A = this chain, B = another copy of it.
Amino acid sequence: MTEVATARRSRITPEREAELYGATLDLLREVGYEALTMDAVAARTKSSKATLYRQWGGKAELVVRAMRHFKPGGTAIADVDTGSLRGDFHDLLLRENDCAMEQTSALMRALGMAVHGNPDLLKALRELLIEPEMAEFRKVLERAVDRGEVSADNPAMGYVLHMMIGGFIARSLIDERPPTQAYLRDYIDAVVLPALGVSVP
């Protein structure tokens, strides 16, 4: 699939690709996944629907590739190595500024319901976004275990992503405010690290 996708995508310039991805995410935030149509993407980007289908096969792949395109940093999580788990977690937050976080939060709301009724979308999300993120997190945690900071059999080890994503989503719902770096830093110190048995100075 990767080779086919690469061959397909080579027909348009990277600038044009970025433009299409940007328009797709704008529409996704505006109308949600269900109401998003390839027609609307084609109209807004002045391209043909045939081109969109040829390049991405369908809505699910277009949306998820667009999200991956704008993923923060480029630096893999596992490359962050500050020597402590707290340092690594705090550093990760710096990849995405508060404005980008608010946009991510809006995207997650837009996809939240759709994931349930669309196996294609869930599959693309898992393969292209969630699984790679989880693999990176595992590396960061393995280093913490190797350093003796966290016990390998700590029961919270299997819930690190649940804590992180949960804290991120719950912020808008409970406090009517988007998650920010300051909030997440505090949440990591108050919840994630203590649950893992890491003491916070």
Q: Which chain A residues have a beta carbon within 8 Å of chain B's beta carbons?
A: 32, 34-35, 106, 109-110, 112-113, 115-116, 122, 126, 130, 134, 155-156, 158-159, 161-163, 165-174, 176, 186-187, 189-192, 194-195, 197
Q: What number of copies of this chain does the assembly contain?
A: 2
**CB within 8 A of A159: which of B161, B162, B167?**
B167
Task: Give the CA-CA distance A189 to B154 in the complex, in Å.
Answer: 11
Given A122-B176, A166-B170, is A159 in contact with B190 using a C-beta cutoff of 8 Å? yes
**CB within 8 A of A170: which of B113, B122, B169, B194?**
B169
**CB within 8 A of A34: which of B32, B115, B162, B167?**
B32
Whether A113 contacts B113 by the Cβ 8 Å rule is yes
Q: Which residues of B contact A174 (CB under 8 A)?
A: 130, 134, 161-162, 165
Q: Which residues of B contact A166 (CB under 8 A)?
A: 162-163, 165-170
- Chain B minimum-CB-distance residue to A34: B32
Whether B170 contacts A161 by the Cβ 8 Å rule is yes
Q: Which residues of B contact A197 (CB under 8 A)?
A: 194
- A79 smallest CB distance to B (angstroms): 23
The 5 closest A-B pairs by CB, nearest first: A166-B166, A155-B190, A112-B112, A162-B170, A166-B170
Whether B167 contacts A169 by the Cβ 8 Å rule is no
Task: Give the CA-CA distance A170 to B168 in the complex, in Å.
Answer: 10
Whether A159 contacts B109 by the Cβ 8 Å rule is no
Q: Which residues of B contact A191 (CB under 8 A)?
A: 156, 159, 162-163, 191, 195
Task: Give the CA-CA distance A129 to B122 in the complex, in Å.
Answer: 29
22 A–B contacts from the bound complex (CB under 8 Å): A106-B116, A109-B116, A115-B173, A116-B172, A126-B176, A130-B173, A130-B174, A155-B189, A159-B167, A159-B187, A161-B174, A162-B167, A162-B187, A163-B167, A165-B166, A165-B170, A166-B169, A169-B169, A192-B195, A194-B195, A194-B197, A195-B195
